[in-house]
Structure 1
């Protein structure tokens, strides 16, 4: 029997030592009370360890709930409001496997709510990565709207999605695979007006 991969530990091994610039459980509790929903432990662990950060120039974890300058709660609210206003996909003639309502088993899709899609991350190609209440029956799965406005569901946790994306798999919609062999580049984003982006690299990868 093949051993199951611990994707959270695999992500940590890929990205290297945690920065832990922010480590305030109360900030997560406040955010979860605000949206009426507990966020996945693996996502919170990764954000605590590295955010705000851009990974390999392609993926943004650009906020943390304890960071005033790049506040995750504010970012979620802003994204959710924008998505709630832009609902043109509801009138599209989507195939069932590309319709977020079918993917999430919901009659309608809301954003930023306890039973809706919560924006978690974004890519440089314009894709947005959401936490979904359900993806093909899998609780707290990942839904992505790709840069081509296509929707795709992944019945997996965030850590597995992130690991696969950074390994060059097509995880963010059509033609989204981007492989950067070698160590992952971490660009730690400024968290105040006097800071600049700072670069670091993760360990060597056997790719």
Structure 2
């Protein structure tokens, strides 16, 4: 199982280290879900960042340009449009089985967390490719998916050309 320590060992020491749960509580209340602990831990540690000049993660306490809540609102609106529905295996939203958009890539992919069907069901990652109506379900948690991404494994968003040496991140400003 992926651990935060393994992610930090590959990505580098985190600098954001957010501790106030208020932005998460407010955002989770708005969307009616509680985001998975591993996703929150990673985002709280690194904040709003671009990883390998490719993958964008945002924090709910980020400013307007890089706010996770603002991005989710806009992405939900986009993915609920009639001509975008065919790109996903299930609707975008916060209900069980629906897809919550949480990250994007400079290469045109969108990363979603699949809301579990029940309390004992795990969160899963779905990546949709915008250049074709294709999507991939990854039977792993967000932490496991990010760790695989950082290792250069094929998790729909590839890193080989973007981080030929080692994974890295830069804060979004």
TM-score range, shorter chain: 0.7 to 0.9
SS for the counterpart of 1:113 is: coil
Matches of 1:151 and 1:138, distance apart in 2: 21
Deviation at 1:9, TM superposition (A): 2.1
Q: How does 1:44-59 map to 2 (within 5 A)?
A: 44-59=40-55
Instruction: Report what 2:23 is aligned to.
Output: 27
Deviation at 1:154, TM superposition (A): 0.8
Instruction: Report what 1:125 is aligned to.
Output: 107
Matches of 1:6 and 1:68, distance apart in 2: 29
Matches of 1:129 and 1:166, distance apart in 2: 15
Deviation at 1:89, TM superposition (A): 4.6
The TM-score with structure 2 as length reference comes to 0.85
Instruction: Report what 1:66 is aligned to.
Output: 61
Instruction: Report what 1:162 is aligned to.
Output: 146
Instruction: Report what 1:186 is aligned to.
Output: 169
Instruction: Report what 1:139 is aligned to.
Output: 122
Give aligned pairs, total: 166
Where structure 2 has 5 or more consecutive residues not aligned to the other structure, the ranges are none
The TM-score with structure 1 as length reference comes to 0.72
Compare CA radii of gyration and give the structure with the larger one: 1
Counterpart contact for 2:2–2:147, Cα < 8 Å: no
Matches of 2:158 and 2:72, distance apart in 1: 25
Once superposed, what is the RMSD of the aligned Cα atoms? 2.3
Matches of 1:123 and 1:88, distance apart in 2: 17
Change (3 A) 1:27 1:166: same
Higher relative contact order (CA 8 A, sep 6+): 2
Change (3 A) 1:7 1:181: farther
Matches of 1:72 and 1:183, distance apart in 2: 26
